[in-house]
Structure 1
Amino acid sequence: MGITMDEKHMKKTIIVTLLFVCITNLFACGCITNHDTNVKVVSDDLHTSESSIVQNREITLLTRTFVPCGFDANKTEMNSTYNYSYLTIDMDKTALLLIDLWACPNDTRLDTNVKTKMVPLLEFARKENMTIVHSPHDYTMNEYCQPLDGEMVAGRDNGLRNTDSFDEYLQAHNITNLLYAGYRSNYCILHRPTGIIKMSELGYNVILIRDCTIAYETPETLEGEWANKVSINMVESQFGSTTTLNDLQKAFGYDNFTYAAS
């Protein structure tokens, strides 16, 4: 029995329709694309990925606080504990505040801390494009830690050594988190107009990088650096939290960050 022209036309229509549906589905699932479509899709994906990296600069940072006990009959000071927790921090709203990086070549402890901690911290911060603010006193700044172009200096000349002016500067730049490092932990780090106590009272999230500072010690406290430990404890129990340089680097994905020694 022969096939009529109408039957041939119907079969042809069915085949064409099936092919169209198959090709459409392949396009939809991305198995087949024309050249222009492929470039556009890949470009959009890359743009989205790069934008998320640039715009969402959040890190998860291990921090430490201190929970004191001894205020009731059931617990004593021996029950006090350190609390470790991870904080999610938006680095676009964070500044590294460097307090009084003095040039003190005759102070062996300070000079050692500058070379082994402060220089790596500063190099790392610059590599990661952190907002860096230098808050010097009237002493000569350390040669290894001089500000670069584009880094803010909160000094006498621009009025940013004043608490209110510095607060206005931070608000204007949408800064809510302050990472502290510098000298000394029991003097300027805590008590400067730009220091931890004032900024904590204004509501900023303050985090001391506890191995990037030292204290003024007395002959009685020098061997164990107990004055520094007490200052760190004050921050952890009253004003904010602390972290370490290594934990900061890990938060950015580095297990072992290498730096060029100055």
Structure 2
Amino acid sequence: MTLKFFGTPSLLLTMAVMSLTAGCADDLDDSFYNKAGEIIAHPLPFEYTLSQYDGNHNIYLDKSHSTVVDAEKSALVLIDVWQNEFLDSLVIKNLNPLIKKFDAMGAKIIYAPSLEAPNENLLQLDSSIHLLNDDRMDVYLLENNIKNLFYVGFDTFYCVLDKENGIYSVRSRNKDLDLFLIDEGVLSYTKEMKDVAIELLKKNNVGIVKFDESPFYAMAPLNTIRDLFANTKDNIHEGNNFVTLFMSGSENQMIKQFEKELIGLNANYGTVVENKFYYRGTELSQPDYLKLLQDLGVNNLYFAGFYLNNEILWSDFGIRSLYIEVRYNKVKGLPWPYIVNDLAFIAPSEAMNPEIEKATIVNHCRIAHNIMSSTLIKGLKEAKTGGNQNLGKENKRPIL
């Protein structure tokens, strides 16, 4: 089975150029070398895809690359392959053959499920390692000199990204690993949730792999909510509020006007510029950002700016990071996240309709609600004057 990748991992391995010397076939060198000039003992060549930003046309374009990794320094990571009927076909037709293939090449097999029962059809090897729930695989990776992780499992937009051994979490703790997602090896509750996750990963240096044989795609069990305003809140909730604005390199009049209104209301807000957070002119680290939210007793945290389908989800100061701190790092006293619907912008890509991408995020992102900027500003004004009779008391959100 041949694998194809799309993207550019941080570790680039180059294939040696075959040469003939003095016309002798014995001099043909078809070995694979890494960039240090060392022969790769168990070469696994493949292609992958990443997205590259085209500033001239303001769009992310897919770009294919080729590379070679050492199979014995690689691992197949299976996330949450549960006992669900809708996962059966994925397991039987795609995951089990992948497990056999990677095992035969000398790669490690890492099962990283939650405490739920694994799928009864899943091939489980005695030589593999099982990491349950919050167990981290960092020490195992170090002890076994693993440099490349290939992810499969469920759900691409949720656990495959943010669990303790998921892509975002592992990347945040291990910057030198090369991470890949096997397209046919993952599934989400909806097709578009998987598509959104893949677009997010391609933008953030996680290579997407495809089989070059006729692929089988398991069917998602649910449908995406495509109405952008299906779950939009019509009031703000009680408690202290904070707005995090993700700024772009160029000014945007809508964001500029929104910031002006926040200043006029003396509202608490901060800005993120190139993954650096600023509050009242001072740069704060991610731990200090979280401490600020705790110290201010923030109940409701609103995200707006550039871009919902990248920085607002992926940044150290974004929604995914907040969720991980609450769910897995057990940090107390953090606020409930909201997406400011009309001021959360999408970075266009050639691979996905931006309206569907945005609707998928605002309706299916973990723990995040969404609200219009006009509703937020109105609520902040009324809260300031004590005249807000429409606070969401019936749906009051506690600090997480």
TM band (smaller chain): 0.5 to 0.7
Greater helix fraction, Structure 1 or Structure 2 = 1
Q: Which position in structure 1 is the counterpart of 2:53? A: 68
Structure 1 residue runs of 5 or longer lacking an equivalent are 1-48, 50-54, 218-224, 248-254, 257-262
Shift of 1:117: 1.3
**Native 8 Å contact 1:190 1:196 kept in 2:** yes
| Equivalent-residue separation in structure 1 for 2:51 and 2:92 (angstroms) | 29
1:205 to 178, 183, 189: 178
Equivalent position SS for 2:165: coil
Shift of 1:234: 1.0
| CA RMSD between the two structures | 2.2
Equivalent position SS for 2:114: coil
**Native 8 Å contact 2:71 2:106 kept in 1:** no
Does structure 1 residue 93 correspond to structure 2 residue 73?
yes
Equivalent position SS for 2:141: helix
| Equivalent-residue separation in structure 2 for 1:84 and 1:206 (angstroms) | 16
**Native 8 Å contact 1:147 1:153 kept in 2:** no
Amino acid at match of 1:144: N
Shift of 1:76: 2.5
| Equivalent-residue separation in structure 1 for 2:104 and 2:120 (angstroms) | 19
Deviations 1:75-108 (Å, cap 9, x if unpaired)? 222xx31111011101111111111111112x3x
Greater strand fraction, Structure 1 or Structure 2 = 2
Q: Which position in structure 1 is the counterpart of 2:163? A: 192
| Equivalent-residue separation in structure 2 for 1:60 and 1:146 (angstroms) | 25
**Native 8 Å contact 1:196 1:239 kept in 2:** no
| Equivalent-residue separation in structure 2 for 1:186 and 1:133 (angstroms) | 20
Q: Which position in structure 2 is the counterpart of 1:145? A: 122
Q: 1:60 to 1:146 in 2, by over 3 A?
A: closer
Shift of 1:59: 1.6
Matches within 5 A, 1:145-164: 145-156=122-133, 161-163=134-136
Shift of 1:60: 1.3
Shift of 1:123: 2.5
Equivalent position SS for 1:145: coil
Shift of 1:132: 0.5
**Native 8 Å contact 2:92 2:122 kept in 1:** no
**Native 8 Å contact 1:97 1:178 kept in 2:** yes
TM-score of the two chains, using structure 1 as the length reference: 0.61
| Equivalent-residue separation in structure 2 for 1:84 and 1:230 (angstroms) | 19
Equivalent position SS for 1:235: helix
Shift of 1:130: 2.1
Q: Which position in structure 1 is the counterpart of 2:42? A: 57
TM-score of the two chains, using structure 2 as the length reference: 0.41
Bigger CA radius of gyration: 1
Shift of 1:146: 4.2
